[in-house]
């Protein structure tokens, strides 16, 4: 049942409404950030469409069809290349998924989908095919999908998920009913982490606030890693405001520049930005419980006392500018030195 899923109440209402109307579109496009539940909602919809004992318009969660779709494990890709270019079946004979392998969806699994989409349901009432991260389809995969969308079987439903709908062909978008997902509220993520994942209240609060409404991110985050990174970024802000310690600043620049790769580097920049925003918010008199790193309110309060809006704004724009240059292969060490020197001069 949709009530098991967390957040996105409007989406639940929209899907219930479509189920009740009996006019579920042949193709749906679920859009929204990574990790906010698009695939879980797609599977829940597949359950409702195939349930043998519906409760109202929703899945009963108990019949064998519901249980098999619910327990679907889409295994990670193996090294055997053959398997990676195929559609992946759930434990239910009418529910399958295509997803990118190494950030590409090629034509082969989409042709397989095209063929399977023509069949009547094998064991349930509807065939449901999920295309995860559909923006990764290459041109020939997109062409195969377009053909599938042209002559839909009334019992076949395609659900595309994407974080970036504009990367899809307009002709694909226009054939799908778009369902927009919103970030999940921090309180809901926090409650879930405490109740379902048995995570301590302190850690749950921090994970929920740093996850930007993404469940997936909250569950996958490594808090030890985050805290270590945050400590290093906090040292930068202290050196810039409270201590004025240039040696510390140079050492910090070195640490930042030693990032193992671009993702690692961007992660540190994102943490630095969040700390600046928090300190700025405190400087403006916002309540401590509204900031992301509210467990650091003492340190951030001291930084806030030395801060002004002009400085905070110029720091953020320096970081933003640096982020823009990361597309090209820059020298992270030189860039980090330059960033912190500019921030010190702001
Ligand atoms: Zn059922």
Question: According to the model, what pLDDT value does residue 274 have?
Answer: 93
Question: According to the model, what pLDDT value does residue 79 have?
Answer: 62
**How far, in Å, is the centroid of ligand 1 from the Cα of 342?**
61
| C-alpha span between 171 and 178 (Å, rounded) | 13
Whether 94 and 155 have beta carbons less than 8 Å apart is answered as no
**How far, in Å, is the centroid of ligand 1 from the Cα of 235?**
54
Q: Which residue bears the tokens 């923006």?
A: 135
**How far, in Å, is the centroid of ligand 1 from the Cα of 278?**
46
**How far, in Å, is the centroid of ligand 1 from the Cα of 197?**
26
Backbone angle region of 199, left / alpha / beta, with phi > 0 → left and psi within -120 to 50 → alpha: beta
Distances (CA, A) of 141 to 3, 161, 205: 35, 15, 42
**How far, in Å, is the centroid of ligand 1 from the Cα of 29?**
24
Rounded to two decimals, the pTM is 0.78
Question: According to the model, what pLDDT value does residue 301 have?
Answer: 96
Give the β-pairing of 95-98 and 156-162: unpaired
Reported as a single tens digit per residue, the pLDDT across 307-325 is: 999 999 999 999 999 988 8
As a 3-state breakdown, the chain gives helix, strand, coil percent values, each rounded to 5, of 60, 10, 30
**How far, in Å, is the centroid of ligand 1 from the Cα of 91?**
14
Closest CA to 144 of 192, 170, 178, 112: 112
Question: According to the model, what pLDDT value does residue 152 have?
Answer: 82
Q: Count CB atoms within 10 A of the CB of residue 230.
A: 21
pLDDT mean across residues, the chain: 91
Backbone angles phi, psi at 93, to 5 degrees: -70, -5
List the chain residues with pLDDT less than 50: none
**How far, in Å, is the centroid of ligand 1 from the Cα of 68?**
10
Question: According to the model, what pLDDT value does residue 120 have?
Answer: 94
**How far, in Å, is the centroid of ligand 1 from the Cα of 161?**
24
**How far, in Å, is the centroid of ligand 1 from the Cα of 213?**
30
**How far, in Å, is the centroid of ligand 1 from the Cα of 151?**
29
Reported as a single tens digit per residue, the pLDDT across 252-261 is: 989 999 888 8
| C-alpha span between 184 and 66 (Å, rounded) | 25
Contacts of 10 (CB under 8 A, 6+ apart): 182
Kindly state the tokens that stand for 253: 């620049």
**How far, in Å, is the centroid of ligand 1 from the Cα of 172?**
31
The rounded Cα 75 to chain-centroid distance in angstroms is: 19
Reported as a single tens digit per residue, the pLDDT across 269-321 is: 999 999 999 999 999 999 998 888 988 999 999 999 999 999 999 999 999 99
Distances (CA, A) of 122 to 42, 116, 127: 19, 10, 8
N- to C-terminal Cα separation, the chain: 54
Kindly state the tokens that stand for 234: 């906090």
For ligand 1, a single-atom ion, the residues with CB < 5 A are: 51, 59-60, 63, 66
Backbone angles phi, psi at 262, to 5 degrees: -60, -40
Q: Determine which helix (DSSP H) or strand (DSSP E) holds 148, and give its type and residue range.
A: helix 139-150
Distances (CA, A) of 231 to 81, 183, 223, 267, 340: 42, 27, 12, 13, 16
C-alpha gyration radius of the chain: 24
**How far, in Å, is the centroid of ligand 1 from the Cα of 154?**
21
Give the β-pairing of 88-89 and 95-98: antiparallel
**How far, in Å, is the centroid of ligand 1 from the Cα of 156?**
19
Q: What is the dihedral of CA 74, 76, 77, 79, to 10 degrees?
A: -140
Number of H helices, E strands in the chain: 16, 6
| C-alpha span between 319 and 325 (Å, rounded) | 10
| C-alpha span between 43 and 120 (Å, rounded) | 19
**How far, in Å, is the centroid of ligand 1 from the Cα of 54?**
6
Question: According to the model, what pLDDT value does residue 78 have?
Answer: 66
């Amino acid at each position: 049942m949709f009530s098991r899923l967390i957040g996105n109440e409007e989406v639940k209402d929209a899907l219930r409404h479509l189920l009740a109307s009996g006019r579920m579109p042949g193709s749906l496009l679920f859009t929204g950030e990574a990790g906010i539940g698009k695939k879980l909602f797609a599977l829940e919809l597949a359950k409702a469409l195939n349930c043998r004992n519906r409760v109202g318009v929703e899945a009963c969660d108990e019949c064998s069809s519901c249980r098999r779709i619910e327990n679907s494990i889409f295994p990670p890709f193996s090294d055997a290349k053959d398997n990676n270019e195929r559609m992946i079946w759930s434990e239910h004979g009418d529910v399958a998924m295509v997803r990118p392998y190494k950030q590409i969806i090629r034509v082969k699994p989409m042709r397989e989908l095209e063929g399977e989409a023509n069949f009547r349901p094998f064991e349930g009432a509807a065939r449901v095919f999920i295309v995860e991260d559909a923006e990764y389809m290459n041109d020939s995969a997109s062409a195969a999908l377009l053909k599938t969308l042209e002559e839909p079987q009334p019992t076949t439903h395609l659900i595309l998920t994407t974080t970036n709908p504009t990367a899809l062909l307009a002709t694909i978008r226009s054939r799908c009913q778009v369902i927009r997902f919103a970030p999940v509220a921090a309180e809901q993520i926090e409650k879930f982490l405490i109740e379902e994942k048995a995570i301590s209240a302190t850690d749950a609060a921090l994970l929920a606030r740093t996850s930007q409404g993404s469940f997936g991110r909250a569950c996958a985050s490594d808090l030890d890693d985050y805290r270590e990174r945050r400590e290093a970024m906090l040292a930068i802000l202290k050196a810039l405001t409270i201590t004025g310690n240039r040696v510390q600043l140079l050492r910090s620049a070195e640490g930042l520049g030693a990032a193992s790769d671009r993702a690692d580097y961007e992660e540190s920049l994102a943490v630095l930005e969040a700390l600046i925003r928090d300190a700025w918010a405190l400087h403006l008199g916002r309540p401590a419980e509204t900031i992301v790193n509210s467990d650091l309110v003492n340190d951030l309060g001291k930084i806030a006392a030395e801060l002004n809006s002009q400085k905070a704004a110029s720091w953020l724009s320096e970081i933003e500018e640096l982020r823009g240059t990361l597309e090209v292969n820059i020298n992270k060490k030189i860039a980090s030195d330059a960033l912190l020197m500019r921030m010190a001069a702001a």
